[in-house]
Amino acid sequence: MSLNVMIRQLSGGMLVSCEIFFVTLLFSLPLGLLVCLGRMSKIGILRTIVSAYISVMRGTPLMLQLMVVYFGPYFIFGIRISKGYSLIAVFIGFSINYAAYFAEIFRGGIESISRGQYEAAYILGYSRVQTFFRIILPQVIKRILPSVTNEVITLVKDTSLAFVVAVAEMFTIAKQIASSQTTMTPFICAALFYYIFNLVVAVVMDRIEKKLNYYR
């Protein structure tokens, strides 16, 4: 098999990996903020439920969570699983997993803001919602960017776990080609893909961080 043919076969898996990455970020970041607010809520029951959710998501393997999301509807509710559900299960599993991590990152950022800023905003006539979105959140985003970058880089590599529910992402296809052709070349291509993808992520996040330097 020529290198061009191999790359064409891998390209489909690369697109799936990118799709998992972007969909996960699209849903897990806002969900993480909501979970964070629930974690910091003054309502005891809500805070306990959210804390338990975070504990479970961070305390169990992502691979196991993907299997629960994929097989759960059938074994728990008797709902038959369609072929197209595997990718949806990956989106759900990744999103709820990473939302828990992002929630704790958001919480750390919010709690790092001094109480005096809330009091000053109140004196100036800002509502609690206005204070959070106009004053607190921009500063939080600046402070948490390094931690978010680490999680995003981990997400790029974790997309390879989608194979557990039969989603043919890039690394799965690389393993199939390597097995059939008895060559290491697909693994080298996979390594280059992950490295370049993470390099782009790191550069983009670094530029965003520099643009937010005016909050210092």
Report mean pLDDT in 10-residue bins for the chain, 216 residues. Answer: 76 89 95 94 92 95 94 82 86 96 94 84 84 85 90 93 86 85 84 91 89 65
Which tokens go with 200? 């782009």
- Predicted confidence at residue 203, as pLDDT, reads 93
- Predicted confidence at residue 21, as pLDDT, reads 95
- Predicted confidence at residue 97, as pLDDT, reads 96
3-state helix/strand/coil string of the chain: CCHHHHHHHHHHHHHHHHHHHHHHHHHHHHHHHHHHHHHCCCCHHHHHHHHHHHHHHHHCCHHHHHHHHHHHHHHHHCCCCCCCHHHHHHHHHHHHHHHHHHHHHHHHHHHCCCHHHHHHHHHCCCCHHHHHHHHHHHHHHHHHHHHHHHHHHHHHHHHHHHHHHCCCCHHHHHHHHHHHHCCCHHHHHHHHHHHHHHHHHHHHHHHHHHHCHHHC
Distance CA 142, CA 36 (A): 17
**CB of 97 within 8 A of CB of 63?**
no
Q: Which domains does the chain have, with CATH numbers?
A: 19-169 (1.10.3720.10)
- Predicted confidence at residue 1, as pLDDT, reads 62
Q: Indicate the pTM of the whole model.
A: 0.89
Distance CA 23, CA 87 (A): 11
